């Protein structure tokens, strides 16, 4: 039986290849991958071949938003069993360094993260995964929902990094998948109000449909927010958003900005603002599963397109070819032909 994967031999090209059966260690499980969400980082590696210092210099399998079914387990596995439906945390830390021992395992210098060069990702039918990266899902959750626990975790971590408290008034800049999820997390965490800003009417309509106040990016005038969640990567979004915070306001900037950000710190200092940077997440999967399974966060409405494994190239280019799209999900077990 083939174990097909969407292999990127070089940026801009995808080939379906049989990569052979995975080999499991004593604490690994063999997982059949059922759903993989497409992230902006996947698109960047496919089109540009790099993100910051992470450079594609050989064949790689993309995909890190994933869920699946446990097919077999190693001799020392105790956390999952054959047949379990699992949401998958894509990072494997060393667990022994200073950051890992302090609970900051996402900052581990030896973190092995799916689809980050040189490590392969989850656009493959079967793979071996450390059991500590696997989280059982309730039967009520779908595999697509399990895969989207990854971008939801980014939203959870953004709220935590911003020190969001019940009663806060929140501004979210950027209504992409992470922005829409971060907005929902803020509401679930007790925000008094959440306003979402974006330049695209389609995405603003989605935010409005989820029950949020919306505004066109660059046109908002209210300066009465406690928390800014910057999820757009736009060059001026962080600086502009900071001006709209109250004294003692807190901000979180998600991911890497598209270029260096200029901040008027000497003038912002009088408000004693706090800015937190967001690099992935830690300890978020149980929270994400609870938010989805309880219905407090809607991930289903974000999935606008679905693809088979051999349509991976099309899925990776969706954002550029279909402006009115939000999230693509690939089913590795399915081939279109």
Higher pLDDT, 115 or 234: 115
Domain count, the chain: 2
pLDDT of residue 261: 78
Q: Classify residue 289: in a domain, yes or no.
A: no
Residues 266, 305, single domain; the answer is no
Residues 94, 140, single domain; the answer is yes
Residues 180, 229, single domain; the answer is yes
pLDDT of residue 258: 67
Residues 245, 303, single domain; the answer is no
Residues 8, 125, single domain; the answer is yes
pLDDT tens-digit readout, 205-262: 999 999 999 999 999 999 999 999 999 999 899 999 999 999 999 999 997 776 777 8
Q: Classify residue 211: in a domain, yes or no.
A: yes
Q: Average pLDDT for residues 26-30, to the nearest whole number?
A: 98
Q: Classify residue 180: in a domain, yes or no.
A: yes
pLDDT tens-digit readout, 68-111: 999 999 999 999 999 999 999 999 999 999 999 999 999 999 99
Q: Classify residue 9: in a domain, yes or no.
A: yes
Residues 201, 236, single domain; the answer is yes
pLDDT of residue 262: 82
Residues 101, 205, single domain; the answer is no
Q: Average pLDDT for residues 158-184, to the nearest whole number?
A: 98
Domain hosting 268: range is: 155-278
Report the run of H or E that residue 244 belongs to, with start and end: none
pLDDT tens-digit readout, 142-163: 999 999 999 999 999 999 999 9
pLDDT tens-digit readout, 297-333: 999 999 999 999 999 999 999 988 998 999 999 999 9
Residues 187, 219, single domain; the answer is yes
Residues 181, 303, single domain; the answer is no
pLDDT at 120 over 80: yes
CATH of the domain at 221: 3.40.50.720
What percent of the chain has pLDDT above 90?
92
The dihedral region occupied by 167, where left means phi > 0, alpha psi between -120 and 50, and beta the remainder, is left
Residues 8, 126, single domain; the answer is yes
Residues 108, 179, single domain; the answer is no
Q: Classify residue 336: in a domain, yes or no.
A: no
Q: Classify residue 101: in a domain, yes or no.
A: yes
Q: Average pLDDT for residues 117-145, to the nearest whole number?
A: 98
Q: Which residues are CB-contacts of 145 (< 8 A; sequence separation ≥ 6)?
A: 67, 137, 292, 299, 300
Residues 141, 166, single domain; the answer is no
CA dihedral 35, 37, 43, 45 (to 10 degrees): -60
pLDDT at 113 over 70: yes
CATH of the domain at 103: 3.90.180.10
Euclidean distance between CA atoms 11 and 3, whole angstroms: 22
Q: Classify residue 48: in a domain, yes or no.
A: yes
Which has the minimum average pLDDT: 132-146, 182-196, 262-276? 262-276
What percent of the chain has pLDDT above 70?
99
Residue whose C-alpha is closest to residue 182's, from 322, 44, 46, 276: 276
Q: Classify residue 305: in a domain, yes or no.
A: yes
Q: What is the mean pLDDT of the chain?
A: 96
In the beta sheet, which residues pair with residue 67?
35, 87
pLDDT of residue 323: 87
Q: What does pTM read for this prediction?
A: 0.96
Euclidean distance between CA atoms 315 and 236, whole angstroms: 29
Eight-class DSSP state of 323: S
């Amino acid at each position: 039986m083939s174990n097909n994967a969407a292999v990127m031999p070089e940026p801009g090209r995808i080939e379906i290849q049989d990569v052979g059966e995975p080999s499991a260690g004593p604490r690994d499980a063999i997982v059949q991958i059922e759903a993989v969400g497409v992230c902006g980082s996947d698109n960047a590696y496919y089109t540009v071949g790099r993100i910051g210092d992470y450079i594609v210099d050989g064949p790689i399998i993309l995909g890190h938003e994933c869920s699946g079914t446990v097919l077999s387990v190693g001799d020392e596995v105790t956390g999952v069993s054959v047949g379990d439906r699992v949401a998958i945390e894509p990072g494997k830390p060393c667990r022994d360094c200073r950051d890992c021992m302090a609970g900051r395992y996402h900052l581990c210098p030896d973190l092995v993260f799916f689809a980050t060069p040189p490590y392969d990702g989850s656009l493959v039918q079967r793979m071996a995964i450390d059991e500590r990266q696997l989280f059982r899902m309730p039967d009520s959750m779908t595999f697509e929902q399990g895969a989207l626990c990854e971008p939801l975790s980014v939203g959870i971590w953004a709220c935590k990094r911003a020190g969001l408290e019940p009663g806060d008034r929140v501004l979210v800049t950027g209504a992409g998948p992470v922005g829409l999820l971060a907005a929902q997390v803020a509401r679930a965490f007790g925000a008094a109000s959440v306003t979402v800003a974006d330049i695209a009417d389609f995405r603003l309509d989605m935010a409005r449909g989820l029950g949020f106040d919306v505004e066109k990016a660059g046109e908002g005038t209210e300066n009465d927010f406690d928390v800014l969640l910057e999820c757009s990567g736009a060059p001026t979004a962080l600086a502009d958003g900071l001006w709209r915070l109250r004294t003692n306001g807190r901000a979180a900037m998600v991911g890497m900005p598209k270029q260096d950000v200029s901040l008027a710190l000497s003038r912002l200092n009088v408000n004693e603002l706090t800015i937190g940077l967001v690099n992935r997440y830690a300890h978020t999967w149980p929270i994400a599963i609870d938010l989805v399974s309880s219905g407090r966060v809607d991930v289903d409405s974000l999935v606008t397109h679905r693809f088979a494994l051999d349509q991976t190239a099309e899925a990776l280019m969706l954002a550029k070819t279909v402006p009115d799209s939000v999230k693509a999900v690939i089913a590795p077990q399915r081939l279109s032909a």
